[in-house]
Structure 1
Amino acid sequence: MDPLVDVFEAMRVENALYARLEATAPWGLKTRGVDGTARFGLILRGGCWLTLDDESMTQAPVALVAGDCFVIPHGRPYTLRDAPKSPTVNCVDAIKGNVGGVVKVGGPGDGPQTVVVSGWFNFDQEGARPLLDLLPPLIHIRMDHERTQLLQSTLQVLAMETSQRGLGSGLVVSRLADIIFMQAVRAHVESVDAESGSGWFAALADRRLGAALRLLHKDLSAAWTVESLAEAAGMSRSAFAMRFKEKIGQSPLDYLTRWRMFRASHLLRRTDKAMVEVAGSVGYESEAAFNKAFKRVAGVAPGAYRRQMQVAA
């Protein structure tokens, strides 16, 4: 299985919000942080500056131009403005005056105009956590014209489904959000430097590590060893283990255990499979060994985890 598919299959969009921003210079829009969301935006016309308003990190303002897309995976607050020192208005106040999903901000004159389509997704946090934990605070993508048109069309359908709920709208919104988020993540992966970069995406982009990761995710239940994964990567055991740890920050077998438990948690939440079946699905012949591994990673036994998720639902 493609590692990204492995993650996205467990994600579920619970709701989504979409709006079109039409701004005339000078202008600025300040948003608030919302935990459990992923923010996105697509610049259709003009340009602006994006700043993450998070005191816990240092992020220089990012210049955005038409065709650029941004994703803020962790719901951090951010500001958009036409110039770094332009005054801002609160997003909540600006949205109150929207007409037909269009939010207008800025000066009354004929200054430069910027058009942005933006919004946010609210994910099932248990299913989304593995991917969100791997993503950087900000994903900035410069798309070609074809991708920009595709994303804009997808956003327009998303807007229609969220404003005019019909049969199956919940499922349609979830799938559209998957497309938008997947396009952004895929573009991010393609921009990662496999040699100088670090993290999961750099490992996926690495020709040798990527081959081993794709094989591992294709069958998490297989009896993988460092030796068999190194062979798939065309590397010696020691060289593979060292490069894997350098890129991902975990040993190959710790990584395997983590993803097995992620897959198991998905099965516990979404299916009624017996515990022994769940254990076998992720490579454990012994239910006792599975229980021990799951509790070590999740901090709770699998049976208790399933009951907690049922209550939360």
Structure 2
Amino acid sequence: MDILTEALGSMRTAYPSSARTEGRAPWALRLPPVLGAGFHVVLYGTCWLIPLGTGDGSGPQEPIALSPGDVVFLRDGGGHVLADHPDTPAVDAQDCVKDSAPPIGTLTLGGGGARTSLLCGNYHLDQGRPHPMVRQLPALIHLPTRHGRHPELAAAVQLLGIELENPRIGSTGIVPALIDSLLLYILRAWFEDQPAATAAGWAAALRDAAVAPALTAIHEAPATPWTVESLADRAGLSRAAFARRFTTMVGEPPMAYLTRWRMTTAARLLRESEAPLTSVAAQTGYGSEYAFAKAFKREFGLAPGGYRREARAA
């Protein structure tokens, strides 16, 4: 069971949206906050990213210098500026010319100086119910891919650059698939960057000899009538020791996470399948449709049928 893929899949509400940004110095682009998570990939040239607040109530931060191959992930889609220099006056993104050339649109701005080419966009993630794995991420992740760092991420960036620089047959399908996969490469690189000796939270949980098997069991079989005792047995720990360890790393007690994942699984089944409510209830560990509907409404504020109708209408 790939917990990272499952966790992100539970939050996705649509395919990512993106645009190519072409700037020639002097240039500066002000990007407003977005729903979901923002990302940037530097395909050519250099620039600066100036955070205007990270979505967690913090104020402006120090500018970040970006080089070719660098990737930036903004967990909460906070507003920020991209520029050739931190002192260049910024223009709003909506005021720039947008071309509709395939495979994605292009924003062009600036003067006649040094060229910078970026891929900018956002992943449509449900921030109203973020998975705790995503909630624990830093508000801004900067991943350089030069000098052999993060080879798989670097390869994805290189492939994107090739397809965007010289679109050919198949590019219209290849580029969105690469952008979609990029999110997994970004988060895999960040998690693997965390030193084992000092890793905390989910970065530690995913490699912990006791907590990781319990998480895998919950994700693989949410309908199983798990208890703290049965999960602790799989982890090889006492009930109390396992509960403390799980809660510290995951951010909530084992049974609370089990309920969260059952409800997350149920919501996905309601959105993406025609399964009757009795089947959804059985697949998520509830013995009756009534018990499932009561638990679901307590979690989402809507009855399962109403949730399915709203999700389909959106």
| TM-score bracket for this pair, using the shorter chain length | 0.7 to 0.9
Structure 1 position 152, deviation (Å): 3.4
* Aligned partners of 2:156 and 2:178 also within 8 Å: no
The count of aligned residue pairs is 302
Which residue in the other structure is 1:291 paired with?
A: 293
Q: Whose helix proportion is higher, 1 or 2?
A: 1
1:108 aligns to 2:115 (yes or no): no
Structure 1 Cα separation of the partners of residues 231 and 161 of structure 2: 40
**CA displacement 1:236-291 (0-9 Å, x = unmatched):** 32222112222222101101100110000111111121111111101122323222
* Aligned partners of 1:18 and 1:159 also within 8 Å: no
Does the C-alpha gap of structure 1 residues 126 and 142 become closer, same or farther in structure 2, counting only changes over 3 Å?
Answer: closer
* Aligned partners of 1:14 and 1:123 also within 8 Å: yes
1:92 to 88, 91, 94: 94
* Aligned partners of 1:39 and 1:118 also within 8 Å: no
Structure 1 segment 113-152 matched on structure 2, within 5 A:
113=114, 115-121=116-122, 123=124, 125=126, 129-130=130-131, 133=135, 135-143=137-145, 144=149, 147-152=153-158
Structure 1 Cα separation of the partners of residues 303 and 157 of structure 2: 42
Structure 1 Cα separation of the partners of residues 249 and 115 of structure 2: 39
Does the C-alpha gap of structure 1 residues 305 and 107 become closer, same or farther in structure 2, counting only changes over 3 Å?
Answer: closer
* Aligned partners of 1:269 and 1:309 also within 8 Å: yes
Which residue in the other structure is 1:217 paired with?
A: 219
RMSD: 3.4
Structure 1 Cα separation of the partners of residues 213 and 268 of structure 2: 24
Structure 2 Cα separation of the partners of residues 294 and 158 of structure 1: 44
Which residue in the other structure is 1:38 paired with?
A: 37
Structure 1 segment 1-313 matched on structure 2, within 5 A:
1-10=1-10, 11-14=12-15, 16-24=17-25, 26-35=26-35, 37-54=36-53, 56-58=57-59, 59-96=61-98, 103-109=107-113, 113=114, 115-121=116-122, 123=124, 125=126, 129-130=130-131, 133=135, 135-143=137-145, 144=149, 147-154=153-160, 157=163, 175-193=177-195, 196-310=198-312, 312-313=313-314
Where has structure 1 moved over 6 Å in runs of 4 or more? 97-100, 158-161
Structure 2 Cα separation of the partners of residues 72 and 260 of structure 1: 28
Instruction: Give secondary structure in 2 for the equivalent of 1:13.
Output: coil
Structure 2 Cα separation of the partners of residues 289 and 160 of structure 1: 55
The range that moved more, 223-232 or 80-89, is 80-89
Does the C-alpha gap of structure 1 residues 106 and 200 become closer, same or farther in structure 2, counting only changes over 3 Å?
Answer: same
Does the C-alpha gap of structure 1 residues 17 and 197 become closer, same or farther in structure 2, counting only changes over 3 Å?
Answer: same
**CA displacement 1:38-85 (0-9 Å, x = unmatched):** 322122344333222128214433332222101223322111234433
Structure 1 Cα separation of the partners of residues 166 and 215 of structure 2: 38
The range that moved more, 194-203 or 176-185, is 194-203
Which amino acid letter does the alignment assign opposite residue 228 of structure 2? V
* Aligned partners of 1:16 and 1:173 also within 8 Å: no
The range that moved more, 221-230 or 246-255, is 221-230
Structure 2 Cα separation of the partners of residues 285 and 158 of structure 1: 51
Structure 2 Cα separation of the partners of residues 207 and 79 of structure 1: 42
In the alignment, structure 2 segments of 5+ residues that lack a partner are: none
